[in-house]
Homo-oligomer: A and B are copies of this chain.
Amino acid sequence: MKVTLSALDTCETSFTPLVVIELAQNVKEETKEWLKSRIIAKKKDGGSQLLIRPLLNKYEKETLVNQNLYLIGASNVRLLLGAEALGLVKECNDSTMRAFTYGTRQSFRGFDDNNDDFLTMAECQFIVKHELENLRARDEKMIPGYPQAKLYPGKSLLRRLLTSGIVIQVFPLHDNEALKKLEDTWYTRFTVKYQPIDSIRSYFGETIALYFGFLEYFTCALIPMAIIGLPYYLFAWEDYDKYVIFASFNLVWSTVILEVWKRGCACMTYRWGTLLMKRKFEEPRPGFHGVLGTNPVTGREEPLYSSYKRQMRIYLVSLPFVCLCLYFSLYVMMIYFDMEAWVLALHEDSESEWTSLLLYVPSIIYAIVIEIMNHLYRYAAEFLTAWENHRLESAYQNHLVLKVLVFNFLNCFASLFYIAFVLRDMKLLRQSLATLLITSQIINQIVESLLPHWLQKKHGAQVKRKLQALQAGIDATLYEQVVLEKEMATYLGTFDDYLELFLQFGYVSLFSCVYPLAAVFAVLNNFTEVNSDALKMCRVFKRPFSEPSASIGVWQLAFETMSVISVVTNCALIGMSPQVNAVFPDSKVDLILIVIAIEHALLALKFILAFAIPDKPRHIQMKLARLEFESLEALKQQQLTLVAENLKEEASDREEKQAP
């Protein structure tokens, strides 16, 4: 008998597989049936009203493994209703942006009832994911067949299934044709050009497109810095008056680029519709738990958790823990410097080849310890932030980013600050800075993209060969794709990519007056980073779920904070330089006071600039104001209709009474 894919011979020919659910191998039939029925069940019965198909039909199961893969799809109407529930914003025919509603679907640009191109595949997958995640327990006390997997009303089923190990993973499928097209315009040809941000957005979603947009913008913004920094290296300019000019320029530049990014970002996300998407009314995140109650804002039934308790957890547990970790990190750094000094003394006492090798040992140990600490801390931060039980995914992300950021900042820059302000060894500072920046960039690119890509390719070839041996001569593209993709690594979000950029920004801006060449290296790195990150997204990782977002969120704040810190460090470095000190040979006090005065003036200028440049361009402000005005007018109108109805009812009541 010929092996055919069950997904292809269903009665509904329009079934497009969007998302794959992988169950554990030994899941009981009872559980499978229950899960399937819950997914198929109508919305009003507490289901998610999606379509589900096993990847293989019964006959195939006998000859093949992977009997535990299910494909999820949805009818076109279901997806459109899901888009409405999510509040997706689309462009109308009159080129305004409005929240999509099924009822008004004809007024949206590019909509056609016979054509399902209106929603991008990424959006469809996001809708499916959202529906699956918000499939919640009603009266079940446990997952059927697994008495230890407890449920309570309002608990997200998928979350419980994942934590109990019944569902191994849920991931969206690639669209090979579209992916190929995207790759061609993105990174396969090595020419200098802008990235196709809009195409990236429609394939990977807004969060990832914003990352690539920011990476590109940031790189372009660094080019002037690099051009100005280059002659400092070429002509070996060591005059500190030149460095002062460079540092001041750096500073105004860094403020302005961050403000301009905010405006550009608002334009972009307005076009994408995410600027208007109301994050406030998003459903609680899957990990959120609480007692089922009525949300006072939306009036919908959903789990509630007291914000007071959350605050207590944040301020009484998380905050002290983070402080403790910071202290510990500083303590480790001090041990490192002690070790360094001890080894140096040993080397000077008894100079031998053995001791000169030993000189490298403290750095290596410290580097390893830092990495370990970063990882351990990351786990702790994730655990704590989950325990804080934030209602919205965005709040969770913000708190996590803040925690990890502070720690990473200290871990990466503390030693540089120590060298700069305690040891006051500018030569060593420049050396460490250059080494740190360049090596971290090279290692990052190799470990992050090229190595996984090579491994992935090798693995892919293996899988292909195995498949061909098993089922020679049949068309099994979908089966092959699913099996290949399920083995790919999962992309864990833009966090690490932003963190890399953030640390790079730190290297470039914090000590820029000591090492103006940093910007040059950053630009060079980012040109290849775009390509390696693109490769990573397209070929190394599973396709990530699209995630709408209106800005780079907490990272904007992080970059702004970094640029404030950089003002302080740059002023201090300039004040400490021997050239500047030579100008005030008699009075160090005068020198310090002048530096402080300049620093305060620069900080004030920074805040005034940030205040004076509006966050959103005027035309976007106008459009937002128009939408708000319309929605208020609509509310008034609705109230009027309500009153009219009430009056009519009253009148008819009266008539009825008079009738007999």
Chain A residues in the interface with B (C-beta under 8 A): 84, 87, 98-99, 101, 103-104, 106-107, 278, 280-281, 296-298, 307, 568, 588-589, 592-593, 596, 600, 618, 622, 625-626, 628-632, 634-640, 642-644
**Shortest distance from the beta carbon of A573 to any chain B beta carbon, whole Å:** 14
List 13 extra interface pairs beyond A296-B622, A592-B592, A635-B635, CB under 8 A. A99-B632, A99-B636, A103-B639, A104-B639, A107-B643, A278-B629, A278-B632, A280-B625, A280-B629, A297-B622, A596-B596, A631-B634, A637-B638
Q: Across the interface, do B104 and A298 meet the contact criterion of CB distance under 8 Å?
A: no
Q: Across the interface, do A638 and B639 meet the contact criterion of CB distance under 8 Å?
A: no
Contacts of A637 in B (CB 8 A): 634, 638
**Shortest distance from the beta carbon of A554 to any chain B beta carbon, whole Å:** 12
The contact of A107 among B87, B98, B639, by CB within 8 Å, is B639
Contacts of A625 in B (CB 8 A): 280-281, 297
Contacts of A98 in B (CB 8 A): 639
The contact of A635 among B568, B634, B642, by CB within 8 Å, is B634
**Shortest distance from the beta carbon of A304 to any chain B beta carbon, whole Å:** 12
| 30 residue pairs bridging A and B, Cβ less than 8 Å apart | A101-B636, A101-B639, A101-B640, A103-B640, A103-B643, A103-B644, A107-B643, A278-B628, A280-B625, A280-B628, A281-B625, A281-B629, A281-B632, A296-B622, A297-B622, A297-B626, A297-B629, A568-B600, A588-B589, A589-B589, A589-B592, A592-B592, A592-B596, A596-B596, A631-B635, A634-B634, A634-B635, A634-B637, A634-B638, A635-B635
**3 nearest A-B residue pairs (beta carbon):** A103-B640, A631-B635, A634-B638
The secondary-structure label for the interface of chain A is helix
**Shortest distance from the beta carbon of A229 to any chain B beta carbon, whole Å:** 27
**Shortest distance from the beta carbon of A27 to any chain B beta carbon, whole Å:** 40
Contacts of A296 in B (CB 8 A): 622, 626
Contacts of A634 in B (CB 8 A): 631, 634-635, 637-638
Q: What is the CA–CA distance of A659 and B104 in the complex, to the nearest angstrom?
A: 29
Q: Across the interface, do B629 and A632 meet the contact criterion of CB distance under 8 Å?
A: no
Among residues of B, the one whose C-beta sits closest to the C-beta of A626 is B297
Contacts of A281 in B (CB 8 A): 625, 629, 632
Q: What is the CA–CA distance of A636 and B98 in the complex, to the nearest angstrom?
A: 9
Contacts of A106 in B (CB 8 A): 643
Among residues of B, the one whose C-beta sits closest to the C-beta of A595 is B596
Q: What is the CA–CA distance of A625 and B281 in the complex, to the nearest angstrom?
A: 8
Q: What is the CA–CA distance of A618 and B629 in the complex, to the nearest angstrom?
A: 25
Among residues of B, the one whose C-beta sits closest to the C-beta of A630 is B635
Among residues of B, the one whose C-beta sits closest to the C-beta of A100 is B636
Q: What is the CA–CA distance of A307 and B618 in the complex, to the nearest angstrom?
A: 9
Contacts of A589 in B (CB 8 A): 588-589, 592
- The oligomer's copy count stands at 2
Among residues of B, the one whose C-beta sits closest to the C-beta of A278 is B632
**Shortest distance from the beta carbon of A258 to any chain B beta carbon, whole Å:** 16
Contacts of A307 in B (CB 8 A): 618
Among residues of B, the one whose C-beta sits closest to the C-beta of A281 is B629
Most chain-B CB neighbours within 10 Å: which of A600, A628, A644?
A628
Q: Across the interface, do A642 and B104 meet the contact criterion of CB distance under 8 Å?
A: yes
Contacts of A593 in B (CB 8 A): 592
Q: What is the CA–CA distance of A653 and B510 in the complex, to the nearest angstrom?
A: 70
**Shortest distance from the beta carbon of A591 to any chain B beta carbon, whole Å:** 9
**Shortest distance from the beta carbon of A177 to any chain B beta carbon, whole Å:** 34
Contacts of A101 in B (CB 8 A): 636, 639-640
Q: What is the CA–CA distance of A642 and B588 in the complex, to the nearest angstrom?
A: 75
Contacts of A618 in B (CB 8 A): 307
Q: What is the CA–CA distance of A275 and B442 in the complex, to the nearest angstrom?
A: 54
Contacts of A280 in B (CB 8 A): 625, 628-629
**Shortest distance from the beta carbon of A394 to any chain B beta carbon, whole Å:** 14
Among residues of B, the one whose C-beta sits closest to the C-beta of A596 is B596
Contacts of A642 in B (CB 8 A): 104
Given that A592-B592, A622-B296 are known contacts, is A640 also in contact with B104, CB under 8 Å in the complex?
A: yes
Contacts of A622 in B (CB 8 A): 296-297
Q: Across the interface, do B592 and A643 meet the contact criterion of CB distance under 8 Å?
A: no
Contacts of A568 in B (CB 8 A): 600
Contacts of A99 in B (CB 8 A): 632, 635-636
Contacts of A635 in B (CB 8 A): 99, 630-631, 634-635
Q: What is the CA–CA distance of A435 and B568 in the complex, to the nearest angstrom?
A: 38
Contacts of A630 in B (CB 8 A): 635
Contacts of A297 in B (CB 8 A): 622, 625-626, 629
Q: What is the CA–CA distance of A509 and B625 in the complex, to the nearest angstrom?
A: 39
Among residues of B, the one whose C-beta sits closest to the C-beta of A642 is B104
Among residues of B, the one whose C-beta sits closest to the C-beta of A300 is B629
**Shortest distance from the beta carbon of A557 to any chain B beta carbon, whole Å:** 9
Q: What is the CA–CA distance of A128 and B659 in the complex, to the nearest angstrom?
A: 46
Q: What is the CA–CA distance of A3 and B629 in the complex, to the nearest angstrom?
A: 52
Contacts of A104 in B (CB 8 A): 636, 639-640, 642-643
Among residues of B, the one whose C-beta sits closest to the C-beta of A632 is B631
Q: What is the CA–CA distance of A280 and B324 in the complex, to the nearest angstrom?
A: 47
Q: What is the CA–CA distance of A629 and B282 in the complex, to the nearest angstrom?
A: 11
Among residues of B, the one whose C-beta sits closest to the C-beta of A622 is B296
Q: What is the CA–CA distance of A358 and B619 in the complex, to the nearest angstrom?
A: 62
Most chain-B CB neighbours within 10 Å: which of A280, A635, A640?
A635
Q: What is the CA–CA distance of A644 and B104 in the complex, to the nearest angstrom?
A: 9
Q: What is the CA–CA distance of A629 and B589 in the complex, to the nearest angstrom?
A: 59
Contacts of A628 in B (CB 8 A): 278, 280
**Shortest distance from the beta carbon of A539 to any chain B beta carbon, whole Å:** 40
Contacts of A84 in B (CB 8 A): 636
Q: What is the CA–CA distance of A639 and B94 in the complex, to the nearest angstrom?
A: 14
**Shortest distance from the beta carbon of A158 to any chain B beta carbon, whole Å:** 26
**Shortest distance from the beta carbon of A319 to any chain B beta carbon, whole Å:** 10
